[in-house]
Every structure is written in structure tokens, then in C-alpha cells.
Amino acid sequence: MQFEQITVVGVGLIGGSVGLAVRARNLAARVVGVDRDIRTLNRAVELGVLDSFTLDLAEGVKHAELVVVCTPVDRIAEAILAAAPHVRPGTIFTDAGSTKYNVVQGVGHRLPAGVHFVPGHPLAGSEKTGVQHARADLFENRVTVLTGTIEGIDPGAERTVEVFWQALGSRVVKMASPRDHDSALAATSHLPHAVAAGVAQIVPADWLTLSGTGFRDVTRVAAGDPNLWAAIFQANREAVQAALGSFTKRMDEFKRLLEAGDGAGLVRWLSEGKQVRDALGS
Amino acid sequence: MQFEQITVVGVGLIGGSVGLAVRARNLAARVVGVDRDIRTLNRAVELGVLDSFTLDLAEGVKHAELVVVCTPVDRIAEAILAAAPHVRPGTIFTDAGSTKYNVVQGVGHRLPAGVHFVPGHPLAGSEKTGVQHARADLFENRVTVLTGTIEGIDPGAERTVEVFWQALGSRVVKMASPRDHDSALAATSHLPHAVAAGVAQIVPADWLTLSGTGFRDVTRVAAGDPNLWAAIFQANREAVQAALGSFTKRMDEFKRLLEAGDGAGLVRWLSEGKQVRDALGS
């Protein structure tokens, strides 16, 4: 697989890592970056992420065969719709958003004939943000989810995007329903992020000395970018509310067992969590 | 500093690591282990954790200058009281329990004259348990807290215990009040553990594929031993209830902001967590 041109829209941690990974693997003759911040783009070229760049979305996508949209989740659909009139027939869009239903709804039926969209979500990332933290191996041994759209997916386009993420080292998992993706991610990623932030908030500065590796692990993701995460919570509100409801029920049960001094009940309650975590490995 | 004999009571991850660390640094001519499980003790000798062992607590402590009690928190006070009549005058007890008030209350005024107790808590550990995971460097660059007791601390004994944990690589922090220790640890360790278990519980097995490093980090501690943690929660019930109350208030606020679609409010809420986490470093 080699593309003439891949264009990355939004050159942060994820977009930057796509650029580095594509260039490291020689998957494209040219990687072009589009961003709203000229300093980010200059930095990206210095870091070897991009061959060239432009601030003009239409200009950046006009020769692309594949456009990978890596903006925050509340701007993905609008970037695709703004770029679509300027691409050549056959061009494929994919994205890296942590939510899929809002993106799929936003794009709707509005793509020109012959222009394809295959929604994607590489489960890779970090509490760090910005192109300076981009890594060519960010997607290696990670899962990338591809979902359906409202219009249905073009099989050839889907196959191209699947092979693309596999070439970056990902294992591709297909989920027809963007809503199912969002429900699962609300539980495995979005709610855990909120909980980490909530735990961090209750510790006053003078108690931080009295924290160990457990606290560091539980709260690590809370260092993530509040703007990116606020957008994710808003884009996936209903599923996050459902996950929060389930979590609250579990914590209410913990509270009840604690108040009752029910040692055997606490052991059972903790064992249910341990069983899930042990299934994951370290 | 060199002791003739240090006795470790309870040879699991923490007790085993004390043994390894003492022997690696040549801090004692002899490290003697006491445990209820003969297989654990045999394994500990194979691993180089102990010079010798006994199942008989009285026998194990009678020649010790320092006794380090590393049992689960609900058995520390009883082990100290059971051992105390058999030690020589001047013997010092310390412990490694994650809760301090219940231990200090349990020991009370019941030590024989000339026998000292300096409560301790090395903030070291892991979701792994058992002597097979013991490490000579477990306490390096970790904080060990020493607290007061009901009777007041003998300054010479406190100094000896302080130098002991420092010799194992710890930074020693003194907190006069065991209750203050327990309040802080409820927020920095005990509640985060419960929250990690609660988060793990809401993810069904078929969604685990859709989890990334964030979920692994947030839930890592949930793999810990349910029996050890149930004992900690029961020993520190009031402080954990207070921390749970603070956390629940923060999550209620998150829920309200999410329902209201208050993006700026969500950014502020997440920023409060980020500020605390950033103060810690990675």
C-alpha cells in the first residue's frame, strides 16, 4: 500500500503520530498537514511529521487520496463537510475521534457522490497533548475501531482504511453501530476519565506528599486536556450519563457495605472488580 | 546502623521486601521471619528474604531488637500484643499498616515497660501480593509515615525507626496524629482503590477489547487482594466515608454540568482535577 498523498487535518498528538507513522513506514509519497495554528505546523515539519502544510483546508485536501481528520470531536464533522467539495472523486475520509455517533450524524448524507467516509477511532493516546509528544509507534498493538455511517460504508473504502490502520500497527475491530461504540467507550474511557478527575479534586495540595503509585495510576488521565475532554463528554452525553448511573449504583453498594461493616460483602464487591481487571493483564 | 536481629512478622509483599532490603543493605546480622504459613516461609528462605524462620511468634521475637509487623491491618495490634511479653527490654516494634488509628487504639497502653512501639506506614506496594513479588528496592524513593501513639513515642525508639526506614531508601514524614494519617490516606489511597474497583465492575467482558491505557491505569489497583483491602476499609471506615462523601459531591457536580450541557463548566471542573494531577508529575 502506498498513497500519493495523505492529508492530516489537526496536527496534535494523534495527527502528529499519524504523520510520523506514515512517514516511518513509507506509506505515502507525501504527508500534508492542515491546522489552524502556523506554529504547530512549523513545529510538525521540524519534527519530521509532515512533508508540507497549509492553513487552507481546501488547498490541503485537493490532491489527497486519504484524509485523516484528527481534530477535537466537536469539529470533525464540520472539517469533513468543509473539505469534501474540494477533493477529487474517490477520496476517502477517516477520523480519529473518541466519539462516533455525533460525527456520523454531523456528516449525515451530505458528502458528494464518490467521496467516502469511514469513521475510525484508534484507542491510543495519552494524558499528554500536542505534536511535540507525537510518536511513530503510538498505534502499534492498539485497537482501532471502525464503525458504520448513516449512508452505509463503501466496502472498498472500508478495506483501504482497515489496511491503513493495520499498516500503522493497529488491530482493527469493526462495530456497525456508532452508538454501540459510544456506549462501550463511555464505560471504558470517558467515565474513567471523569472519575480520575473527581478523585484528584478531593486531595488538597498538602496531602499529595502522602500519595503513592496507586493514586498516580488512578488519576494519571486527569492530566489530559480539559477542552478535549469537555468536548468528548458533550458529544457522548447520554452514554456517559448511563455509565455514570451504573458506576453510582456500584459506589452506593460500596457505601452500604461499608456502613454495615459487612466484611464478607466488601470482599465480594472488591472481587467483582478484581475479576474484570485480572482479565486484562497488567 | 546494624542490628543483631530484625524479626519480620507477616512475610508477604511488604514483609518480604523488608527482609530483602535489610539483607541487601546488611542492616542486620540476622533476619528472622514469622508467618502462619510454612510454605510462605520456605519460599521466603529460597528467595533470600530470611536467614531463618519460625511459626512460633514468641520464639521468633525473643532475641529481636526490632520487630517489623507486616500483617494485614486487622491483625497488627494483636500480633504486637501477643509478641510483647516475649521480647527483651528495649525491643522496638514498628509496623507497615495502611491504617494507623485502629493499630494505635488496639495497642493502647498495654505494652510492658521498656518495650516501644513506633507506628509506621511505608507508602509502597503494588496490586501484586505475596512474597514472590518482594523487591529489595520497594521502599526506595517512597515516603514512610511515622505517627504518634496513645502513650506517646519514646524519642530514641522513634529515631531508630526513622533511621531504619531511611536506610531502606524511604523519605520519612512524621504525623503526630494517627487520625490525620488515616484521613489523608482515605483520600489518597483507600477511596481511589474503591473507585478503581467500581469502574472495573461496570465494564462487561466483551467491552474489555475496547479499553486502552487510560482504563488500565485507572483500574490497575483493583487487581489488589480483596481481603487486604476489605480489612483496610473496615479499619478506616469513618475517614473513607468522609472521602466518599467529598468524591460523591464532585461527581454530582459533574453530572449536573453534563446534564446542563455546560461546556465551560465542564472545562473548569476538569481543570481542577488537572491542576492537582499536574502538581504530582508523571
What confidence tens digit (pLDDT) does each residue in A154-213 have?
Answer: 999 999 999 999 999 999 999 999 999 999 999 999 999 999 999 999 999 999 999 999
Which pLDDT belongs to residue A64?
A: 98
pLDDT > 70 in chain B, percent: 100
The mean predicted confidence, pLDDT, of chain A is: 97
DSSP state of A64: -
Residue B50, pLDDT above cutoff 80 = yes
Residue B116, pLDDT above cutoff 90 = yes
Locate the chain A residue with the closest alpha carbon to B203. A187
Q: How near does any CA of chain A get to the CA of B87, in Å?
A: 32
Supply the pTM of this predicted model. 0.95
Backbone angles phi, psi at B243, to 5 degrees: -65, -40
ipTM reported for the complex surpasses 0.85: yes
Task: Show Cβ contacts of residue B200 under 8 Å, excluding neighbours closer than 6 positions.
Answer: A272, A273, A274, A276, A277, B219, B222
3-class secondary-structure state, position A96: coil
pLDDT tens by residue, A44-97: 999 999 999 999 999 999 999 999 999 999 999 999 999 999 999 999 999 999
Residue B1, pLDDT above cutoff 80 = no
Neighbours of A199 (CB within 10 A): 29
Q: What is the mean pLDDT of residues A13-31?
A: 98
Locate the chain A residue with the closest alpha carbon to B233. A258
Chain B interface includes A260 (CB < 8 A): no
Chain A interface includes B260 (CB < 8 A): no
Q: What is the mean pLDDT of residues B249-254?
A: 98
Helix (H) or strand (E) holding A116: strand A116-118
Which of B196, B212, B240 is opposite residue A258, by nearest beta carbon?
Answer: B240
The mean predicted confidence, pLDDT, of chain B is: 97
A214 to B189: CB separation less than 8 angstroms, yes or no: yes
B276 to A241: CB separation less than 8 angstroms, yes or no: no
| DSSP-derived pairing of the beta strands B66-69 and B92-95 | parallel
Which of B126, B192, B259 is opposite residue A215, by nearest beta carbon?
Answer: B192
Query: What part of B 217-246 touches A (C-beta under 8 Å)?
Result: 217-224, 226-227, 229-231, 233-234, 237, 240-241, 243-244, 246
Which of A126, A224, A274 is opposite residue B222, by nearest beta carbon?
Answer: A274
pLDDT tens by residue, B160-190: 999 999 999 999 999 999 999 999 999 999 9
Largest Cα–Cα distance of chain B, in whole Å? 67
Which pLDDT belongs to residue A245?
A: 98
Which pLDDT belongs to residue B32?
A: 98
Chain B interface includes A156 (CB < 8 A): no
Q: How near does any CA of chain B get to the CA of A248, in Å?
A: 8
Which pLDDT belongs to residue B125?
A: 82
Query: Which residues of chain B are within 8 Å of residue A263 when distances are taken between CB atoms?
Result: 230-231, 234
Q: How near does any CA of chain A get to the CA of B26, in Å?
A: 27
Residue B204, pLDDT above cutoff 80 = yes
A251 to B267: CB separation less than 8 angstroms, yes or no: no
Which pLDDT belongs to residue A241?
A: 98
Q: What is the mean pLDDT of residues A261-267?
A: 98
Per-residue pLDDT band at B126 (split at 50, 70, 90): confident
Q: State the DSSP string of chain B.
A: --EEEEEEES-SHHHHHHHHHHHHTT-EEEEEEE-S-HHHHHHHHHTTS-SEEES-HHHHHTT-SEEEE-S-GGGHHHHHHHHGGGSPTT-EEEE--S--HHHHHHHTT-SPTT-EEE-EEE----S--SGGG--TTTTTT-EEEEE--SS---HHHHHHHHHHHHHTTPEEEEES-HHHHHHHHIIIIIHHHHHHHHHHHTS-GGGGGG--HHHHHHHGGGGS-HHHHHHHHHHTHHHHHHHHHHHHHHHHHHHHHHHHT-HHHHHHHHHHHHHHHHHH--
Residue B282, pLDDT above cutoff 90 = no
Which of A187, A199, A254 is opposite residue B203, by nearest beta carbon?
Answer: A187
Which pLDDT belongs to residue B225?
A: 96
Which pLDDT belongs to residue A125?
A: 82
Query: What part of A 158-187 touches B (C-beta under 8 Å)?
Result: 173, 181, 184-185, 187
Which of B199, B202, B277 is opposite residue A200, by nearest beta carbon?
Answer: B277
pLDDT tens by residue, A114-162: 999 999 999 998 788 999 999 999 999 999 999 999 989 999 999 999 9
Q: What is the mean pLDDT of residues B59-74?
A: 98
Locate the chain A residue with the closest alpha carbon to B214. A221
